[in-house]
Structure 1
Amino acid sequence: MARRFIRRRKPPGSPGKKRRSPGPEKNAPPSLQASVLKVLAGQDEPMNETEIAQALHLSRHELFPLRAVLGYLFEHRVVEKKGRRFALAAGLERLRATLDLTSKGYGYAVPEGEQAKGGKDVYIAPHNLNGASHGDTILVAVTGSSRGRREGRVMQVLRRAFTRICGIFTASGAGGYVTPDDDRFPATLLIRRGDTLAAGDGMAVVADIVDYGSERQGPTGRIVELLGDARAPSVQIRMAVIQAGLREPFPAEVEAEAAGLVPVTTCTGDRQDLRHLPHVTIDGETARDFDDAICVEREGEAFILYVSIADVSHYVRTGSAIDREAYLRGTSVYLPDRVLPMLPERLANDLCSLVPDQNRPAFTAILTFDATGRRTGERYTKSLIRSRQRFTYTTVNQILYLHDEKARTAHGELVPMLEQARALTALLKKRRIERGSLEFNIPEPEVTLEGEKVAAIRLAERNQAHMLIEDCMLAANEAVAETLAKVRRPVLYRIHEHPDPAKLESFTDAAKALGFHLPQAEVNPAWFAQIIKQARNSPTEYIVNNLLLRTMQQARYSPDNSGHFGLAAPYYLHFTSPIRRYPDLVAHRVLGALLAGHASDSARPVPGKATDLAEAGLHLSQCERRAIDAERNVHARCSCLLLMDRIGEIFAAVISGVTAFGLYVSLDDSYISGMVPLTGMTDDYYLHDSRRYRLIGEASNRMYQLGDRVLVRLEQVDLAAKRLSFSLAPQ
């Protein structure tokens, strides 16, 4: 006979678990929590429920959700209770911060005042986000700590970062919804009928967020732009630009200001005429903005290096419309089908660009070196130059290193100067390597588009002409940094701190697993240089260089000079690319003020009265990070598009990472990355040896280790997640 189970109600007063205040996520929208906290934050005296309800204009039926919120906040020590009155908890640390939300739902916030100082972030659990999204400026209450990390709760969203998203539209009878392209935005966006802009099902779109919603109801929005087919490279690149929040068209006032600038074609004031020198530019084939030119002379055994940089500071005055926009952008961003420049085209490709056979204003570093490559003197001047030739890396490589007679004959007048540049830079490089400067060899993937198709992804060619120019630029950057440091002029240095000890330990384990003999010496740049040298031209060179790069701290901009670990340089800043990097423009302004005899505090090198160099360094480091992330995002999207129709094909690859979840692999030639998930390795039960970076089959003893060569079969291309999944093919 079937038995019936009846839940019996406990009699009053019977023992049981203490009832917890229900989480507000079940009883009230996060917007109510934020409103309550905002009201309490603005009061000097505690408030009771009625007073809070009146301040929030709540109706009678909203009193129960209010009571639930107050109970939840009290239980989590965000507010304190005095009789029947509530106030923010005494001593509760409140911080203004920016939320970095992960795809797993939890977040981190680094308080604004501590970011420039490298302060530790605050962990925010999913149930403490209070409706905040990635990138939002938030008010955080620090509620405790765990394992040395502060934990907190979002009290209030001060400014929304996401006001517009891009994604894929799905039509429905009531209108439809947009699935965000960025998995850090936590919900799909409801689009009501009439707000779809006649988008087709599956189309990529841009939508404005009209209402951020609540816990009970998701956000709503309206479509403002139709992007088109999500499988088109141009559409995917545009989606990456929007996701990164990069600035696209220049404001009208910026374009108008640029159009009104007057070209400098003659020497006036303190500007020195250097048009007699055979300056040349050396760049890639597709470059359009030429911001550096070089010339090398000999004086007996000594060398004179002229590094002439576009004088952007002459045209871009601090606080002007162009300057404010350049500061917001921070850097130019280079993508396969477009450039998002820091400066308007009128400046970047015309007035400032050191094009051949045209008079151009420059800022020249005149550096002297002895026969060993040791710098013996430096002088700086505003100048007027006239480039003799727009060289490419390919042509200079043919002239100097391949000794191509046709190329040498075609540029016969400039060959002697180039030969002197080669001799000097060989000495400069030798000295850098001897002091421990790291020579990473990490190929950069280059995407080739043919119409609306990704034709190929290959490694960008890098030859000795690239290194010649790099050595000249490094010499100028170091000289300017040392000059400004010694006279104590506030400027933005390019600093690179010592590696994190925990990451260093992981690297040594990986290097040992790859069979490398680690130097028995102090861990300094020379220590790393020896490992790079061991790996050079070996099958694991790419892996070792990548592991080393991950071990390093990220280089950043700071007014406090702590040296550059990777270059083994006590003084370093960016001076040589002011057309595409704002910190270089800062260095130009500071050096220019020094040459003009102005006091260090007489001119602002960055816009805004309240903007100091520490804030500027943080902002510009973030701009650089955002640009790098956007470029990687585009590469991941293009990798998916390239392989989308090649499911089932087998590729040669190298194991670039080993985790408890599977193997990361990089495909030969293109260095496209993907994963072999452990769930797909069904031929055995694999154990993860984390110290030796390998998986070992329990029954077969088959081993897959970091650096191993493997064959992999493409199983899945997930364009929405920008993810490639592989399986191991028969080896």
Structure 2
Amino acid sequence: MSKKNKSKRIYIKGLFKIEKTHYSIITDKNTYSIEKEFFDFSDKFAQDSDEVEALFIWAKHPKAKLLNVVKRYNEYVVGYIKKINSNYFFEPLKTKFLVKLSGQAEEGKLVKARIIQQKNTEFAKIVEVYSNSSLNDELIVIDKYSLPTEFSPEVEKELQSINEPNEKDFIGRSDFRNLRTITIDGADAKDFDDAIDIEFLKNGYRLYVHIADVSYYVKDNSAIEKSAFERGFSVYFPQSNIPMLPRKLSDDICSLVPDKDRLAFTVIIDFDKKGNRKSFKFTKSIIRNKNRLTYDFVENCLNDLVDCEENLKSYLQKMKILAKILRARRFLKGSLDLDIKEATFIINNNEIVNVIQKPRLFSYSIIEEFMLAANKTVADYLNNKTIFLRRIHEKPQITKLMDLSNQLKEMGYAFPKKPNAKKMQKFIWSIEETKRSIISKIILKSMERAEYSLEEIPHFALGFENYTHFTSPIRRFPDLIVHKILQATLLNKKNYSHKRLESIVKQVQKRELITEAAEYFAKDIKQARLIEKYIGKIFNGTIVYMIGSGMFIELKEMFVEGFLSYSALKDDFYTFFDQKQMIIGRKTKKIFRLGDSIKVKPIKVDIYEGKIDLEPV
């Protein structure tokens, strides 16, 4: 920690979040994180999204203590049965804390339990016992995070009156069915929020971003809207998803599926040849998706690696030109793009057979730049007219930047003084490619979380003064609300009250944390289950992060991370240097540091902890 925070005691209240290496507590103003081994649960335990009170002590060795669980997010908790001597206990997943068990069960079983308060003591009562089957993987995530999967009878009743759009629904809309309209998504996508069109003008470009007009079907205070508010977001698992909206809407009537007339909210933006936005227009519209394209196909088409109709290729080339201009302009003005690798699951016959690093295709950038342009245009328009849901990203705190600078200096990197996003991006690009992703992760830990807010705060990473989310109303409740706010503002109608928007912001902030945690947990389970088949197999690995007890190794043959405890290094006793992110053998003086290659083999997995234990070869 920085000298400013040395020996400082802070009492905080916020939402508890479990991460891979840390526990965090998120308040309205800050995120407090500490490595798991330095967090004292005392005589209590907490789970993701519980509201808690804790004491953080910043000293030479920072630590924290859970003082109280103010409000539990979930009535039920998932965990293992433990037996110590003749006593039975319940151990919640991802929390090394034992709760007395009311009754008995088979040791080692994974169960769902209800936490019961009796006087000043908590007991766990078993509600369900799970079998160790991959068929239960998603159910366990659903139960752990209390994710709603069914829709109420009231929602089903409202759905009966919603049908395919017809001429009556087209009244007063701009008709863009004559345009070439395409969608670009992943191969397994089912809900299509956005479609795009482009025209070359004499002095620039005209971009059409068509977004599914979900607000036309999801009326204010309807059962469907109330259900979407409770869910907040769609949840995406490696092999399935839980939609925010009923599938009749998300996968069909709202979705911009190919060769069907669909209702949209279109943003039309005219750019000059340098990518400056010259004018814009918003209009409700009718569109028809002529081509449902995938990222891989577009990339291959642009690079002459696949047969592609000449007119379509020319059309995609125009999009590529504009996307390149917008991207270059964005970074020139100060956008930040951390080189964080993402995992893609390879599925064959409904079984995950591999995990690979998601390729960085320019086809992703086409959609990214066009959606950013639409979101920013909506935010700029609403900025001086009404209060609305913003997507903000606050500047990193000075103390965190100081700690980051000191750590990178210890590692041999000269981090820029008084860094802004532009300087940070230049620094990232200066790092050798093999270590860029590793250093990007360290930088990310020093950044604030992007979040939804009503406050007029710029988006630091994007370098935008105003920003919002408008382009995914099928899967994000905030986008649906921004659609309604934009429509009311355009028509000079009464808009949402500040009090109502505050309640929406509070809900979506919490639901975003839950959705994110559930998606990460589902991925961890599937990765651990896949690696279970390779126990004892030798892999080439790279050290990507180090903590006091061991290091995280990224496997090269399979894009999965495992944990190697320092105690597994039998040739010496190693001392850990946190700031330098390295360990040194006391006798041999052998050094392991970030980015080093190491041969390892998996020796044990705990599937529902999402944990893979490695040992060196």
TM-score under structure 2 length normalisation: 0.87
- Partner of residue 293 from structure 2, selected from 391, 411, 414: 391
Identity among equivalent pairs (%)? 29
Q: Give yes or no for the alignment of 1:622 onto 2:510.
A: yes
Aligned residues of 1:136 and 1:161 also touching (Cα < 8 A): yes
Q: Give yes or no for the alignment of 1:281 onto 2:183.
A: yes
Partner of 2:7: none
Partner of 1:585: 480
Partner of 1:535: 431
TM-score under structure 1 length normalisation: 0.74
Matches of 1:146 and 1:550, distance apart in 2:
17
Partner of 1:464: 362
Partner of 1:377: 279
Matches of 1:420 and 1:101, distance apart in 2:
44
CA shift, 1:428, in A, is 0.6
Partner of 2:400: 503
CA shift, 1:202, in A, is 5.7
Deviates further, 310-319 or 713-722:
713-722
Report Cα offsets for 1:411-463 as digits up to 9, x if no partner.
x4433332221221111111011112122332211234556854222223341
Aligned residues of 1:167 and 1:178 also touching (Cα < 8 A): yes
- Partner of residue 702 from structure 1, selected from 579, 590, 599: 590
**Cα distance change of structure 1 residues 240 and 558 upon mapping to structure 2, 3 Å threshold:** same
Aligned residues of 1:213 and 1:220 also touching (Cα < 8 A): no
Matches of 1:496 and 1:253, distance apart in 2:
37
Partner of 1:100: 16
SS for the counterpart of 2:434 is coil
Could you tell me which amino acid in structure 1 is paired with residue 539 of structure 2?
Answer: F
Matches of 2:17 and 2:290, distance apart in 1:
51
Q: How does 1:148-227 map to 2 (within 5 A)?
A: 154=68, 160-168=72-80, 179-183=91-95, 186-187=98-99, 189-191=101-103, 204-209=110-115, 211-213=116-118, 219-224=123-128, 227=130
CA shift, 1:145, in A, is 9.5
Matches of 1:500 and 1:397, distance apart in 2:
39
Partner of 1:544: 439
Q: How does 1:312-327 map to 2 (within 5 A)?
A: 312-327=214-229
Larger Rg: 1
Matches of 2:549 and 2:91, distance apart in 1:
27
Aligned residues of 2:411 and 2:579 also touching (Cα < 8 A): no
CA shift, 1:222, in A, is 4.2
Matches of 1:481 and 1:717, distance apart in 2:
46
CA shift, 1:658, in A, is 2.6
**Cα distance change of structure 1 residues 126 and 550 upon mapping to structure 2, 3 Å threshold:** closer
Q: Give yes or no for the alignment of 1:455 onto 2:353.
A: yes
CA shift, 1:551, in A, is 2.2
Could you tell me which amino acid in structure 2 is paired with residue 100 of structure 1?
Answer: F
Could you tell me which amino acid in structure 2 is paired with residue 260 of structure 1?
Answer: S
SS for the counterpart of 1:373 is coil
Partner of 1:54: none
Q: How does 1:338-357 map to 2 (within 5 A)?
A: 338-357=240-259
- Partner of residue 604 from structure 1, selected from 483, 492, 496: 496
Could you tell me which amino acid in structure 2 is paired with residue 243 of structure 1?
Answer: K
SS for the counterpart of 2:609 is coil
Report Cα offsets for 1:505-526 as digits up to 9, x if no partner.
343344445544444x530011
- Partner of residue 270 from structure 1, selected from 139, 162, 172: 172
Aligned residues of 2:209 and 2:266 also touching (Cα < 8 A): yes
**Cα distance change of structure 1 residues 665 and 159 upon mapping to structure 2, 3 Å threshold:** closer
- Partner of residue 420 from structure 2, selected from 511, 521, 524: 524
Aligned residues of 1:99 and 1:133 also touching (Cα < 8 A): no
**Cα distance change of structure 1 residues 593 and 709 upon mapping to structure 2, 3 Å threshold:** same
Partner of 2:139: 238
Aligned residues of 2:81 and 2:110 also touching (Cα < 8 A): yes
| Stretches of structure 1 lacking an aligned partner (at least 5 in a row) | 1-93
Q: Give yes or no for the alignment of 1:567 onto 2:479.
A: no
Report Cα offsets for 1:468-500 as digits up to 9, x if no partner.
11111011111111111132x111111111123
Aligned residues of 2:191 and 2:251 also touching (Cα < 8 A): yes
Give the alignment's Cα RMSD to 1 decimal: 3.6
Could you tell me which amino acid in structure 2 is paired with residue 165 of structure 1?
Answer: V
**Cα distance change of structure 1 residues 285 and 691 upon mapping to structure 2, 3 Å threshold:** same
Report Cα offsets for 1:653-677 as digits up to 9, x if no partner.
1111233323222212433222222
Q: Give yes or no for the alignment of 1:558 onto 2:456.
A: no
Report Cα offsets for 1:576-603 as digits up to 9, x if no partner.
11101111111111110111121xxx23
Aligned residues of 2:265 and 2:285 also touching (Cα < 8 A): yes
**Cα distance change of structure 1 residues 636 and 586 upon mapping to structure 2, 3 Å threshold:** same
**Cα distance change of structure 1 residues 415 and 646 upon mapping to structure 2, 3 Å threshold:** closer
Could you tell me which amino acid in structure 2 is paired with residue 695 of structure 1?
Answer: I
SS for the counterpart of 1:572 is coil
- Matched residues, number: 599
CA shift, 1:465, in A, is 0.8
Matches of 1:415 and 1:682, distance apart in 2:
58
